[in-house]
A and B are shown apart, each in its own frame.
Chain A
Amino acid sequence: MRRAPFALLLLAGLSLPSLAKADLVYVLNSGDASITVLESTTREEVRRIPILREVHHLLLNPERTELVVGDSAANELLFLNPDTAEIVRRERISNPYHMDYSPDGKYLVITSLRRDQVDIYEAATRTLLARLKVPDKPSHLAFSPDSRMVYVTLQGARRLMAIDLTTRRPTWTTEVGPQPAGVLWHRDRLLVGIMGSDQVAVVNPADGKLERGIQTARGAHTVFASPNGGPLYATSRVDSRLTVLDPETLEVKARWELPGGPDCIAFAPDGKLWVTLRWVARVAVVDPATGEAETIPVGRSPHGVFVQPRQLPLPPAPVPVVEAPATPVMVPGVVPAALR
C-alpha cells in the first residue's frame, strides 16, 4: 500500500502527454484564399478553411468568444469559434484590412488600405458611425488605452494620423518616415515601424512629435509586445530579422535572422512566438530564450496569425478538409488572364 502514492504519481506522469497543450494556431493565407489551422504540439495542419478572396488580419472580439477575420477583397467579416475553428457567421463590411476593437469594447475601427478610408463602427452592432477619407493607404492602427484616440499609419503618405473617437475627426497628422506600417501603443508612446527604413519611430501621442528612432533592420514593419510586460519584438521584412527590444528602455537586446519576410507575430501560452513569413509560405516558431526557429509550411503569403489556447487536440473535421492549392494572385484591376 505504501507504494500506491508512487504508483499514482507514475500514472499521472504517464498521462501527462494526453494533457499536453494542443493550442490552435490560425494563419491567414492572404495569397490563396484560405486559413490554415495548425496544432501547436504536433505542428500539423488540422484544418484548411476556404474563404472567399483575401484575408489579412484577425482578432478576438471583446467578449473573447469569437475570432473575427477580415476578408478584404470579398468585403466580408468572418466570425469563427476559436475553440473549434468553425465559421459561425459572416457579415458584409467594406474592405476590412487591419482592424481592432477599442479597449473599452465600444468601437471597431477598420482601415481600408485600398480605398483610403478609415471606418469607425459601433462594435456591438457593426453600425457605421463615421467614414473618414484619409491620405494614401491607411495601413495599421492602435488605440490609446482610454479608448479616446485611434492612431493610423498612412503608408503611402509617410504619415501617422491621430483620430479623436469622440469627435471622429483627425486631431493631428505627423510625418514619421517612408512607408510606415505597424503601430503600437507602448507606455505612453507610439512605436511605428517605418518600412522604407531600418527604424522604429517613437512618437509622442499627445502632439504627434517624432521623438527618436530605434534602429532595428531594413524594412522595419511592426512591433509586438509580449504578454505581461515582456520584451518587444520588431519584425523587418527586407533584412528578414526579428529585433528584441527592452520594454523599459527600448534598447536593442538581440537580433535574430529569420529569412522569408517576417510579418505578424502571435504569442503562444508556452512563450513561443509564431511569426508569419510572408514571402516563403511558412510560419516560424521562435524560441524566445535562444532565438532559434523552426518553420512550418502554410498557404501562400501568410499574414495574420493567432494562437488559441487549447488543452485537447481538435477532433477530426466533420467534413473532408478542402485542400486549397497555391494561387496565382491576380494583379488587381487587371482582367485575369485566363478569363479574358
Chain B
Amino acid sequence: MIEDTYAAFTGWLFEHTLQPVLYATGMMDWAEDLFAWLDFALRGLFGILVVYFVCRPLEAWRPVEPRQDGAAIRTDMVYTFLSRLGVLPLVAFVLLASLQSRWEGWLTEVGVMPPTLEELFPPLRDHPLLALVAYVIVLDFGEYWRHRAQHGFRWWWALHAIHHAQRQMTFWTDDRNHVLDDVLAALWFGGLALLIGVPPGQFPLILLLLRLAESLSHANVRLSYGRVGERLLVSPRFHRLHHGELSAGASGKNYAVLLPIWDWIFGTADFRRDHYPPTGAADAGEAMERGGWLRQQWAGFQRLALTIARRA
C-alpha cells in the first residue's frame, strides 16, 4: 500500500515536473536517469528527516558540548542537502557519464567485465539480504583504508581537513567533504566495484539504517554502545575520538566508518568509553573552520595546490 502510493506520487511528480522539462530541452534520453535521481532525492529527503528526528533529541538529551555556533552547523546542513538530495551526485553524473561510458566500453573491449560478489560466491544469489551484508562488510573495509589514506597522504589531508575542521560537530557533519574528496571517494569505490561489482540496492530500509548509523556517529551526544556494542558498530563516542584535535594528520585513531573491527584488527582502535575530546583540526585555518560552503571548498583547493607545490 505504502509502496504503491509512493510509486504513484513519484510517477505523478516526474510526469508533471521533470519529464516536461526534459522534453522541452531535448534531453529525453536522460529520462530514466532523472527518474532514478528523483527517487534518490526523495529517499534522501526522507533519510534526512529520519536522521533529524532520531539524532536531534539525542543531542538535546545528553550533549557533549553546548550548541554555540549556529553558523557552522548551517554550513554542514548545506553539505547534507547537496549530498543527500543528490544535487552534487547528479552534477557529477551528468559531467562524467560520457567518460564512464568510454571507460566501461574500453574495459569490455579489453575483456574486463566486473564480476559481482554473488558470482564469486554463488550461495549469495539466493540470499539477497546476505549479499548486501557481504557488500557492506567489504566496502566498509575499503572505506577504512580510504580513510587512513585521507589522513596518511598530506595532499589528501589537505582536502579531508575540511571534514575535521568542524569544532561544533553534530550529526549534520557527516557529509562535510570537499567535492574533490567526494570524487576521489567515487573513484575508490569504482576501483572496488571492478573487483566485486556494485552492491544491490533493493533494501532501502537497510540503506537508511546504515546512513542513520553514520550520521549518529557524528552526533553531539554523550553516547557509547557499551563494552560489546562499541566493538560492533561505530558509536558517537568512538567517532568523536577520531575527530579529537590530536587526530589531525597521520596520528589518528578510530578510522572505521561503520564497523570498528577494522581498527581493532589493525591496531588503531581506542575503546576508552569515557573520553569525549573537543573536535577540530589544529592546522585547518579559519576559512575551513568558519567559512561558508564555497569558501571552504576554495580553501581546500588552495591548500591542495600549496601542498603539491611544496613537494615539487
Q: Which chain A residues have a beta carbon within 8 Å of chain B's beta carbons?
A: 30-34, 50, 52-53, 73-76, 92, 94-95, 112, 114-117, 131, 133, 136-137, 155-156, 178-179, 195-196, 218-219, 237-238, 240, 259-261, 277-282, 297, 300-301, 322, 324-340
The reply to whether A131 and B109 form a contact with Cβ atoms under 8 Å apart is yes
Interface-lining segment among B27-35, B64-72, B299-307: B27-35
How far, in angstroms, from A325 to B204 measured CA to CA in the complex?
A: 8
The reply on B197 being an interface residue by CB < 8 A is yes
How far, in angstroms, from A196 to B214 measured CA to CA in the complex?
A: 42
In-complex Cβ contact of A328 among B40, B98, B186, B197 (8 A): B40
CB-CB under 8 A from B98, the residues of chain A are 136
CB-CB under 8 A from B125, the residues of chain A are 52
Contact with A along B47-86 (1 / 0, CB 8 A): 1000000000000000000000000000000000001101
A114-B101, A115-B104, A324-B128 in contact; A337/B83 too (CB < 8 A)?
Answer: yes
Size of interface on B: residues with Cβ below 8 Å to A:
77
In-complex Cβ contact of B204 among A155, A196, A328, A333 (8 A): A328
The reply to whether B113 and A53 form a contact with Cβ atoms under 8 Å apart is no
A240-B15, A281-B7 in contact; A196/B93 too (CB < 8 A)?
Answer: no
Sorted from nearest, which 9 A-B pairs have the closest CB atoms?
A280-B11, A281-B7, A279-B11, A329-B36, A338-B210, A338-B207, A334-B89, A115-B105, A179-B28
The reply on B189 being an interface residue by CB < 8 A is yes
The main secondary structure of chain A at its interface with chain B is loop
The reply to whether A332 and B28 form a contact with Cβ atoms under 8 Å apart is no
Interface-lining segment among B18-26, B227-235, B263-271, B277-285: B18-26
The reply on B166 being an interface residue by CB < 8 A is no
CB-CB under 8 A from B200, the residues of chain A are 33, 52-53
Number of residue pairs across A and B with beta carbons under 8 Å?
198
The reply on B205 being an interface residue by CB < 8 A is yes
Closest Cβ of chain B: how far from A55's Cβ, in Å? 12
The reply on B251 being an interface residue by CB < 8 A is no
Interface-lining segment among B135-143, B150-158, B242-250, B287-295: B135-143
How far, in angstroms, from A332 to B190 measured CA to CA in the complex?
A: 10
Could you list 30 A-B pairs, sorted by A, with CB under 8 Å?
Answer: A31-B36, A31-B39, A50-B202, A53-B198, A74-B197, A114-B100, A115-B104, A195-B31, A196-B26, A237-B31, A260-B11, A260-B15, A277-B11, A279-B10, A279-B19, A281-B3, A281-B4, A300-B39, A324-B202, A325-B204, A331-B93, A333-B93, A333-B96, A336-B198, A336-B207, A338-B208, A339-B139, A339-B143, A339-B189, A339-B207
The reply to whether A73 and B198 form a contact with Cβ atoms under 8 Å apart is yes
In-complex Cβ contact of B201 among A115, A136, A260, A329 (8 A): A329
A328-B204, A339-B210 in contact; A334/B186 too (CB < 8 A)?
Answer: yes
The reply to whether B11 and A326 form a contact with Cβ atoms under 8 Å apart is no
CB-CB under 8 A from A260, the residues of chain B are 11, 15
Which residues B171-219 have CB closer than 8 A to chain A?
Answer: 182, 185-186, 189-190, 197-208, 210-211, 214
Closest Cβ of chain B: how far from A304's Cβ, in Å? 13
Closest to A261 in B: B15
The reply to whether A331 and B37 form a contact with Cβ atoms under 8 Å apart is yes
In-complex Cβ contact of B28 among A50, A112, A115, A178 (8 A): A178
Other A-B contacts than A53-B198, A53-B200, 7 sampled, CB-CB below 8 A, are A33-B202, A237-B28, A297-B7, A326-B3, A326-B6, A335-B189, A337-B84
The reply to whether B39 and A329 form a contact with Cβ atoms under 8 Å apart is yes
The reply to whether B108 and A115 form a contact with Cβ atoms under 8 Å apart is yes
CB-CB under 8 A from A115, the residues of chain B are 101, 104-105, 108
The reply to whether A137 and B186 form a contact with Cβ atoms under 8 Å apart is no
CB-CB under 8 A from A327, the residues of chain B are 39, 201-202, 204
The reply to whether A237 and B19 form a contact with Cβ atoms under 8 Å apart is yes
A52-B118, A327-B201, A338-B210 in contact; A333/B83 too (CB < 8 A)?
Answer: no
The reply to whether A219 and B23 form a contact with Cβ atoms under 8 Å apart is yes
The reply to whether B23 and A196 form a contact with Cβ atoms under 8 Å apart is yes
CB-CB under 8 A from B190, the residues of chain A are 333
The reply to whether A238 and B20 form a contact with Cβ atoms under 8 Å apart is yes
CB-CB under 8 A from A34, the residues of chain B are 202
Closest to A117 in B: B105
A237-B31, A301-B35, A324-B128 in contact; A330/B201 too (CB < 8 A)?
Answer: yes
